Amino acid sequence: MINELEKDIDRVLFSEDDIKNMVKKVAAQINEDYAGKKPVLVVLLKGSLMFAADLMRSLVIDCEIDFIKVSSYSGTQSTGVINIVSDIRTDISGRHVIIVEDIVDTGLTLYKLKELLESRNPASLKICTLLDKPSGRKADVYVDYIGDVVGNEFIVGNGLDYDEKYRNLPYIGVMRN
């Protein structure tokens, strides 16, 4: 069957194999850094869904997962305002927390989220992202684990959307204009 979404994709940026390798690389670092620590992965919905599932399967340490949903985007432009749409249930006080993000662009979402989670007194708080878009940065956030870096292009697939579309593409591609 022909993929209905492919006609809108200009070119593939990361194949399924590329994504697997990025996940492996990040997981290996987390496995090493968190051995014996039982971290909580706080997954930012919805875009990080695929990455979080892949990452968790590659972790060999004891860990937990929870989900948070914030709204910050409409179309391709960051609004710089976040609202907590749905919060985590886990009490993260005294816990090692890793925020799992799909792509860091302006960094505003993570800046705000970090502030919020830090106020709950975790033992530590780090950020892990599949992709980093440093050219878009507006807030000063340190990203601890990065799968790969992308340029200033709008990309979709493997969880990343454009107005809720293309999340189910198994690869990551640049949209046709």
Binding to ligand IMP in span 101-120, by CB under 6 A: 101-109
Residue 171 sits in the site that holds ligand IMP (CB under 6 A) = no
Task: Sort residue 2 into left (φ over 0), alpha (ψ -120 to 50) or beta.
Answer: beta
> Where do the DSSP E strands lie in 22-144?
40-45, 64-74, 77-86, 96-104, 124-132
* DSSP letter assigned to residue 175: E
Q: Which is nearer to ligand IMP, 39 or 107 (CB)?
A: 107
Compose the 75-104 pattern: x for residues touching ligand IMP by CB under 6 A, - for all others. Answer: ---x----------------------xxxx
Amino acid in the structure at residue 71: S
Residue 72 near ligand IMP by CB under 6 A: yes
Of 32-40, 91-99, 113-121, 154-162: span binding ligand IMP (CB under 6 A): 154-162
Between residues 52 and 103, which has the closer beta carbon with respect to ligand IMP? 103
Nearer to ligand IMP by Cβ, of 42 and 106: the residue is 106
Cα 168 to chain centroid, rounded: 15
158 part of the interface to ligand IMP, by CB under 6 A: no
Would you call 17 a catalytic residue per the annotation? no
Backbone angles phi, psi at 100, to 5 degrees: -110, 115
Is there binding between residue 132 and ligand IMP (CB under 6 A)?
A: no
Q: Rounded to whole angstroms, how far apart are CA atoms 110 and 162?
A: 20
CB of 102 to ligand IMP, least distance (A): 5
Determine the Cα angle at 78 with ends 76 and 79, to 5°: 130
What is the DSSP-derived secondary structure letter of residue 102? E
User: Which residue lies nearer to ligand IMP by CB, 59 or 106?
Assistant: 106
Quote the distance between the C-alpha of residue 157 and its chain's center: 13
> Which of 105, 140, 144, 148 is an active site residue?
105
Which residues contact ligand IMP (rule: CB under 6 A)? 47, 72-73, 78, 101-109, 133, 154-156, 160
